[in-house]
Amino acid sequence: QFPEVVPLNVGGMFFTTRLSTLRRYEDTMLAAMFSGRHYIPTDAEGRYFIDRDGTYFGDILNFLRSGDLPPRERVRSVYKEAQYYSIGPLLDNLEDIQPLKGEKVRQAFLGLMPYYKDHLERIIEIAKLRAMQRKARFAKLKVCVFKEEMPITPYECPHFNSLRFERSESETKLFEHHCEVDVSFGPWEAVADVYDLLHCIVTDLSARGITVDHQCIGVCDKHLINHYYCKRPIYEFKITWW
């Protein structure tokens, strides 16, 4: 049996709430914990102890009490706590506001590139290896980011469609090449362009604590067929380690 008013110790932070609040949604971890079916340890003062960082537990309680949502700057952190406590209604609400709503749109775009995460890992590994080999503070690598699979040069655009659909097998192989870069992203079919993908790459590397600068240093000049050249943009990424 639990008291109607429940004292809590969540990772060393103290809270007090009604038992009915903890049981608000029956399919949550909190409802299961305080259902009477599980043993919950108590601290020296008799508070029920939850071995979890309590920084955002107040936001969890405020939602259970009255449906209040956290301010925008805490949305991501509260979302992680809501996942831990399996509070489905809170997760649904948080996913419908910024920044999580925008993140869903961004992930839908990144889903067009199945090897995106692998390419990020490759960027990190290459940069780390080069910095360690040179005993340097930073490392540079070349990254190709291209949206279109087929090559285009401005003065040949009117003839581009005929080449796309009337190529021989040997000509097709000429177009299948790898630019001389460390990592290559693309192609994809979406409104989002090269600069949008670059923003995603830098954002995701920064989220891992990696300082990165990038600049376009030209295009791939590989000759393919006739007057067609690759022309995919090449970017220099500079990863600074300390």
Q: What is the pLDDT of residue 119?
A: 96
Q: What is the pLDDT of residue 229?
A: 76
**What pLDDT digit, counting tens, does each position of 59-78 carry?**
999 999 999 999 999 999 99
Look at the alpha carbons of 194, 192, 119, 185 in this order and tell me if their dihedral is positive or negative: negative
Q: What is the pLDDT of residue 65?
A: 97
Q: What is the pLDDT of residue 1?
A: 82
Cα(146)–Cα(225) distance, integer angstroms: 19
- By mean pLDDT, which of 25-29, 133-137, 163-167, 211-215 is the weakest? 163-167
Contacts of residue 16, defined as CB under 8 A and 6 or more positions apart, other chains included, come to 5, 6, 7, 8
Q: What is the pLDDT of residue 150?
A: 57
- By mean pLDDT, which of 185-189, 210-214, 220-224 is the weakest? 220-224
Q: What is the mean pLDDT of residues 118-134?
A: 96
**What pLDDT digit, counting tens, does each position of 81-92 carry?**
999 999 999 999
Percentage of residues in the chain having pLDDT higher than 70: 87
State pTM to two decimals.
0.73
Average pLDDT, the chain: 89
Q: What is the pLDDT of residue 149?
A: 64
Of 19 and 221, the structure prediction assigns the larger pLDDT to: 19
Tokens 């919950």 identify what position? 40
List the domains of the chain with CATH numbers.
Answer: 5-97 (3.30.710.10), 111-154+176-240 (no CATH)
